[in-house]
Structure 1
Amino acid sequence: MSLSGSPFTYSTIGLAVLAAIASATAVADEAANTVVDANIERITVTGRTFNDYKVGVASGAMRGDIDLMDTPQSVSVIPDFVTDEQLATNLSEVLVNDSSVTSGSEKWNRQVFNIRGFELSSGSGFLINGQQQWSHYVQPIETLQQVEVLKGPSSMLYGQSGPGGLINMVTKKPTYDTVFDVGFDTDEEGSTRFQIDAGGSINEAQTIRYRTVLVKQDTQYWREYQDGSNQERDRWLGYLNLEFDITDDLLLSLKYDHTQDKTGIDRGGWLNSDGKLIGGRDIIWDMPWAFTDNTVSNLGAELTYHISDNWKVKAGYNDQQFNRQRLDSSPSLVKGSEDPFKDGYTISPFDRYDDWQHKTGFIDFTGDFSTGDVEHKLLIGANMLDYYYGQLKEAGDKNQLVMPGQPVSRPDLDYHRDTTKSESDYKHYGFYIQDLITLNDSWQLLAGVRYDEQKKDGEGNNSYAVSPKFGVIYSPAENGSIYLNYSKSFTPQGMVNDPDDVNDKMNLDPEYGEQYEIGTKWELFDGSLLLTGALFDITVSNVTVTQDLEVTPTSGDKTITTQSGEQRHKGFEMGAQGQLTEKWFMSGSMMYLDAEYVRPEEDRLDGKTPVDAPEWSANIWTRYEVTEALALNFGAVYVGERFANTDNTISKDAYVRFDIGAAYTMDIKGTDLSVRLNVKNLFDQDYLAGGTNTDVTVGEGRHFGLALEAKF
């Protein structure tokens, strides 16, 4: 497929996909007329709405509650109703519901993701309620109302961010009426998770409201250390959100959450030159004493003032403190060997303390007004980020040779003994203006621009950028739209911070991305089903690439980081979300991706595909309501063949995973009690998930999950 040249030049297959989606609207209009009465009757009888699976607004896409049909951008929204059905316990299990997102490595109790083949940065790829969140850990999902995948460059609104898109996590809000839910889930490994979700009004006038979530999780993982013990995880989460109606026009919201998360380390599996897993599926190469211990807290406030019915100003601030201790054994294969059972393998232990501090703030001024017959939704705003990082580290002897199964005692390492603290910091400021212009019932225009500055004291590596965004929406019918957008991304790169890299301490230039996207959105069956499709072409310049080197006795360098050439990703996506019939609901998507490096001809990466960028990926999750009390679920995830190294000499096979579930709900003396049983990977498929040939995540076999929930 070719998207080269003009943004309006596309291949036959791409146009065929869009034509197929658009042509479905004619049938859908007729179908909608025949089912509308059934929908009304269903709502009257059961009280359920189709919004359990379909959400019409993504607050992060336009920095406001603007309908997805009025958003000239590909956006998917994953509601907590769906992920609760799937018994999801982490963000990776949530994002499997969008095929444009693929998983990377999960070592060190963190999760890496790619959108449209571009890896998300821990520092700039994740948002909480529209504010940047340092996401170098497994994000808690129990506090989330929905997860929004904003696809394509979003620098016009959020500044530094990657070209593939952003993940915006929207937290649960306080409620006027009393809510009290208690949940418990477990699995065949003996893992447990207890949850309490409570909310309501504190005073009779309902001007003070709250929402709180408490979670205690103890996880037993299926993979084993070489002494026979399993990797374990101990997590505690507390969340509190308070809302105060100071006046009828002034709302104050205060939010605090605290996460304590400690787990043993499993860097993943090793692949040989044929792409086969070395050793068994369940073997962990890290030492049993290795662990990572995260302590994360967020304290934030938002103030919203309604100046009039059409104008408001909103300001917010969040202080995130993230501290981590990591006692790591850092295992690796012996150079030139693919048989650790014969040649052994090495460990390079160290004890490290990391201190990240993210302080973010914003102010948005929004309003609706008209100039003649033309309507405007105006946004003027600014945001900032104050970033600090400090590190203490004490390392042991490097490359200690061990044999599989050989016990290695915990080394006497203590980061407190490090007297040379490594520190870095920067400040980022951005100013933006955006206008969504409605010309008439059929045409809308979006125009926006942003100016960014990132300042680093003493490093002489300040960055500046101007990021525009333009969009056009044409609505041929009330229930459908076709859009075109152009946007840019701006991603500062900092400096190389790796003593084993040839270019250690070298300042890197920002990466700049540019996207053209054309798409369509249709609401079918009286608005209960949303169909979407999009073609995209993204080009990134100043691409930062780290490559492995042949280590020699004289050099000692293991990698080299450089910036040259481009990275170009082209493809198309389709998605469906909502209600198909009175009892049948579904959420599904698919993506085709053509991703490659465009480098100087002498560079060995020229024409190569990035790691974990499959050509095809797809997913589906469905719900069928057998009765008002009994519901059945079926799901499938397909991920195509992916490369496991940048040289494209090692690949991971494609796989399909099938999941099923069932839930039964009953009323016991006014309390809704539900029981759910899920089976993930029903056919016990062997597969490799995200990660490279040195840290690949090994897919779990057949997994049983049981959950109980009581709503009082």
Structure 2
Amino acid sequence: MSLKGFSFNYSTIGLAVLAGLASLPAVAEDAAESVVTANIERITVTGRTFNDYKVGVASGAMRGDIDLMDTPQSVTIIPDFVTDEQLATNLSEVLVNDSSVTGGSEKWNRQVFNIRGFELSSGSGFLINGQQQWSHYVQPIETLQQVEVLKGPSSMLYGQSGPGGLINMVTKKPTYDTFFDVGFDTDEHGSTRYQIDAGGSLNEDQTIRYRSVLVKQDTTYWREYQDGSNQERDRWLGYLNLEFDITDDLLLSLKYDHTQDKTGIDRGGWLNSDGELIGGKDIIWDMPWAFTDNTVSNLGAELTYHISDDWKVKAGYNDQQFNRQRLDSSPSLAKGSEDPFKDGYTISPFDRYDDWQHKTGFIDFTGDFSTGDIDHQFLIGANMLDYYYGQLKDAGDKNQIVMPGQPMPKPDLDYHRDGTLYESEYKHYGFYIQDLVTLNDQWQLLAGVRYDEQKKDGAGNNSYAVSPKFGVIYSPAENGSIYVNYSKSFTPQGIVNDEDDVNNGMNLDPEYGEQYEIGTKWELFDGSLLLTGAVFDITVSNVTVTQDLEVPNEEGDKTITNQSGEQRHKGFEMGAQGQVSDSWFVTGSMMYLDAVYDTADALDGKTPVDAPEWSANIWTRYEVTEALAFNFGAVYVGERFANTQNTISKDSYVRFDMGAAYSMDVMGSDVSVRLNVKNLFDTDYLAGGTNTDVTVGEGRHFGLALEAKF
């Protein structure tokens, strides 16, 4: 359903499933003809497997396939091989592999993240294959080949984006050779996930290729509603990517994915003024009838034309339709109370329908050329975003008092009754030019600049920005580099859209960020291990801050949003990825962060929520034999504040994880079995979120997975 006129509803889960299943006959036919060849290939892969812990190119960092050693920016690449080992099921479990990323609230079946202490916006903090993605939901990871964490301002290439960085999700590509993978995983709560991943060529000349992914997930969570039931999640995912070699120089790629994701609501735990969890770690304050139901479809196309061996032009378009119904009980502590068992707590139910439409497009012209002895890697391009949002809402009586365990019947609410449609839309355009200049074997220079324009209806609502970026790379040795960079960010803020905010409806000015960074990268052991380090200093002006009111005003407002002063984040980070010995692989990182507000109000000198001073992580693989491997991991997150006033904090914690995998040949097919234990020592901890929506860490958790490759 679209709230903006009439639109063709191409997004049905049935089409996605049928598209994936349609490819299976081709898989079966090709597999029957190539059993011997497939077995030989599998022996090669199973033996001296891989250095799949290390990836040398981040396509999003420079809008092209430029080596990380030639990229004057801190970038972390998390390949799907690592996250498959960890049995990751969502983006939060992927990003735990980079300590510069910390988690925030996970209420309403969405995930919030911070990079270098700055919160990522749902609208401008996430990319899919270099195009902006509306990410107000739990992103599917089964379709991803790798996740790239681009640190620091990236507005020069992508326009509106935050000062901390961007998350670029790179999807799986079609393959020339036929393969067919079937996977299944489960846990001690009875959750299940079934996956099919297939690829190959659809014709003898291999000029038409495909990649298809199907997922069915049913999750039972460990926390309980007050009637004794558990939160549950039901998710379908279909993904199809087709490539056509129209000519030797012209490639067309078509991509479609569809997600249907419905779950009960768990806004998280409440903390009292001493930072203690109210009511125990397993209690859900939301009502059992509350739910959020997401329907998300992406339909995209890319066209790449190789003008010559050195020059090419690439254009792309993506149409994202995101519809959500949220029937919410919206629980909160009673006014002036920290004891819901004595004073009860309030319920403010509503039924809301949201319609987001994200249309993005780009065109890039890239080429390599020389001026004398100086080499250039040149980029000039433009991109656009057409954004629409519509909302219908039917609200019940606010602040109904209930006691813990007291049943509250499902309210008679229906968003269709809303006779007033709230709408917001804008268009964003950007033009950019970049040149990576290689002076000699030791020195490289990067220079780029971008012009942005965001247009909204109404006088005074348009935003403009110029975002430069400069970098210098010095390579004292063939396997190492030292770089410095300067970059800026531009983040439009829209309006305050919160009925409980004093300044609801107020237009906000853009935030502007500025970063200085110096870093180094070294490849050791014949390039199999990458070591990185960076020191950064980021300053953001015109900061948007939402604070809780100590006492709600006469209108019942609970928060106030303003823009004032600056926010400065300084720190350093280090990382390692790759192969340490013949049998030992490792990925790990650590970050130190000093983040403070510099304002003239009560926030002056305070630290943002979920910005720990220290954080670190490690994940390793040790191969005992060609068939047996063990994994060990640890995640450390330092003490963090849970509110903007810095009066409530969450303790630091260390979580240890372990895993083991065994591979075998079963009737000519590779079959692997994996057992993982997360939070091995059953540590109690609080993850992201504020004192009113903190994510409570799960205790010891077992996961079991089976995978067969044909």
**TM class by smaller structure:** over 0.9
2:607 is matched with: 609
How far, CA to CA, are the matches of 1:460 and 1:275 in structure 2? 43
Partner of 1:661: helix, strand, or coil?
Answer: strand
Partner of 1:547: helix, strand, or coil?
Answer: strand
How far, CA to CA, are the matches of 2:409 and 2:46 in structure 1? 61
1:281 is matched with: 281
2:77 is matched with: 77
How far, CA to CA, are the matches of 2:435 and 2:478 in structure 1? 22
Matched, 1:221 2:202: no
How do 1:518-529 residues align onto structure 2 when only pairs under 5 Å count?
518-529=518-529
2:31 is matched with: none
The change in CA–CA distance for 1:44 and 1:527 in structure 2 (over 3 A counts) is farther
The change in CA–CA distance for 1:341 and 1:241 in structure 2 (over 3 A counts) is same
Q: Is the 8 A contact 1:50 1:579 kept in 2?
A: no
The change in CA–CA distance for 1:310 and 1:394 in structure 2 (over 3 A counts) is same
1:153 is matched with: 153
Q: Is the 8 A contact 2:517 2:536 kept in 1?
A: yes
1:126 is matched with: 126
Match of residue 703, structure 2, among 697, 702, 705:
705
1:114 is matched with: 114
Deviation of 1:77 after TM superposition, in Å, equals: 0.1
2:136 is matched with: 136
Count how many residue pairs are aligned between Structure 1 and Structure 2.
668
How far, CA to CA, are the matches of 1:387 and 1:44 in structure 2? 48
- Which amino acid is the alignment partner of residue 613 of structure 1? A
How do 1:266-305 residues align onto structure 2 when only pairs under 5 Å count?
266-305=266-305
How do 1:640-655 residues align onto structure 2 when only pairs under 5 Å count?
640-655=638-653
Q: Is the 8 A contact 2:623 2:629 kept in 1?
A: yes
How far, CA to CA, are the matches of 2:556 and 2:387 in structure 1? 32
- Which amino acid is the alignment partner of residue 709 of structure 1? E
1:462 is matched with: 462
1:679 is matched with: 677
Deviation of 1:553 after TM superposition, in Å, equals: 6.0
How far, CA to CA, are the matches of 1:179 and 1:483 in structure 2? 41
CA offset digits 1:117-140 (Å, max 9, x no partner): 000000000000000000000000
2:189 is matched with: 189
1:250 is matched with: 250
Deviation of 1:693 after TM superposition, in Å, equals: 0.1
How far, CA to CA, are the matches of 1:332 and 1:576 in structure 2? 43
How do 1:315-394 residues align onto structure 2 when only pairs under 5 Å count?
315-394=315-394
How far, CA to CA, are the matches of 2:45 and 2:111 in structure 1? 43
Identity over the aligned pairs, expressed in percent?
Answer: 91
1:33 is matched with: none
CA offset digits 1:670-695 (Å, max 9, x no partner): 10000000000000000000000000
- Which amino acid is the alignment partner of residue 474 of structure 1? Y
1:659 is matched with: 657
- Which amino acid is the alignment partner of residue 612 of structure 2? P
- Which amino acid is the alignment partner of residue 387 of structure 2? Y
1:619 is matched with: 617
Deviation of 1:551 after TM superposition, in Å, equals: 3.1
Deviation of 1:44 after TM superposition, in Å, equals: 8.6
1:35 is matched with: none
Question: Which has the higher mean CA deviation after the structures are superposed, 354-363 or 543-552?
Answer: 543-552
Partner of 1:84: helix, strand, or coil?
Answer: helix
Partner of 1:281: helix, strand, or coil?
Answer: coil
Q: Is the 8 A contact 1:50 1:578 kept in 2?
A: no
Q: Which runs of 4+ in 1 moved over 4 A?
A: 43-47
- Which amino acid is the alignment partner of residue 182 of structure 2? V
Deviation of 1:552 after TM superposition, in Å, equals: 4.8
- Which amino acid is the alignment partner of residue 270 of structure 1? W
CA offset digits 1:111-168 (Å, max 9, x no partner): 0000000000000000000000000000000000000000000000000000000000
CA offset digits 1:581-640 (Å, max 9, x no partner): 00000000000000000001xx11000000000000000000000000000000000000
Partner of 2:175: helix, strand, or coil?
Answer: coil
How far, CA to CA, are the matches of 2:703 and 2:227 in structure 1? 27
How far, CA to CA, are the matches of 2:343 and 2:417 in structure 1? 34
Alignment RMSD (CA, Å)? 1.0
- Which amino acid is the alignment partner of residue 546 of structure 2? T
How far, CA to CA, are the matches of 2:53 and 2:553 in structure 1? 59
CA offset digits 1:401-460 (Å, max 9, x no partner): 000000000000000010100000000000000000000000000000000000001253
1:508 is matched with: 508
1:696 is matched with: 694
How far, CA to CA, are the matches of 1:657 and 1:605 in structure 2? 32
Deviation of 1:557 after TM superposition, in Å, equals: 2.0
Q: Is the 8 A contact 2:350 2:396 kept in 1?
A: yes
2:166 is matched with: 166
How do 1:554-569 residues align onto structure 2 when only pairs under 5 Å count?
554-569=554-569
- Which amino acid is the alignment partner of residue 667 of structure 1? D
How far, CA to CA, are the matches of 1:284 and 1:638 in structure 2? 26
Deviation of 1:554 after TM superposition, in Å, equals: 2.6
How far, CA to CA, are the matches of 2:331 and 2:435 in structure 1? 53
Partner of 2:557: helix, strand, or coil?
Answer: coil
1:26 is matched with: none
2:587 is matched with: 587
- Which amino acid is the alignment partner of residue 620 of structure 1? I
Q: Is the 8 A contact 1:197 1:211 kept in 2?
A: yes
How far, CA to CA, are the matches of 1:332 and 1:282 in structure 2? 17
How far, CA to CA, are the matches of 1:654 and 1:97 in structure 2? 17
Deviation of 1:501 after TM superposition, in Å, equals: 1.4
Deviation of 1:503 after TM superposition, in Å, equals: 1.3
How far, CA to CA, are the matches of 1:288 and 1:607 in structure 2? 41
How far, CA to CA, are the matches of 1:344 and 1:378 in structure 2? 63
- Which amino acid is the alignment partner of residue 330 of structure 1? S
- Which amino acid is the alignment partner of residue 662 of structure 2? Y
Partner of 2:94: helix, strand, or coil?
Answer: helix
- Which amino acid is the alignment partner of residue 271 of structure 1? L
How far, CA to CA, are the matches of 2:328 and 2:610 in structure 1? 25
Q: Is the 8 A contact 2:552 2:558 kept in 1?
A: no
Deviation of 1:499 after TM superposition, in Å, equals: 2.1
- Which amino acid is the alignment partner of residue 183 of structure 1? G
How far, CA to CA, are the matches of 2:236 and 2:400 in structure 1? 35
Partner of 2:255: helix, strand, or coil?
Answer: strand
1:202 is matched with: 202
2:20 is matched with: none
Q: Is the 8 A contact 1:161 1:490 kept in 2?
A: yes
Deviation of 1:304 after TM superposition, in Å, equals: 0.1
CA offset digits 1:448-491 (Å, max 9, x no partner): 00000000012531000000000000000000000000000000
Deviation of 1:47 after TM superposition, in Å, equals: 5.2
- Which amino acid is the alignment partner of residue 341 of structure 1? F
Deviation of 1:549 after TM superposition, in Å, equals: 1.1
- Which amino acid is the alignment partner of residue 628 of structure 2? L
How far, CA to CA, are the matches of 2:260 and 2:358 in structure 1? 18
CA offset digits 1:24-55 (Å, max 9, x no partner): xxxxxxxxxxxxxxxxxxx9997545531000
How far, CA to CA, are the matches of 2:394 and 2:673 in structure 1? 49
Q: Is the 8 A contact 2:46 2:627 kept in 1?
A: no
How far, CA to CA, are the matches of 2:51 and 2:487 in structure 1? 30
Q: Is the 8 A contact 2:48 2:626 kept in 1?
A: no
How far, CA to CA, are the matches of 2:551 and 2:45 in structure 1? 70
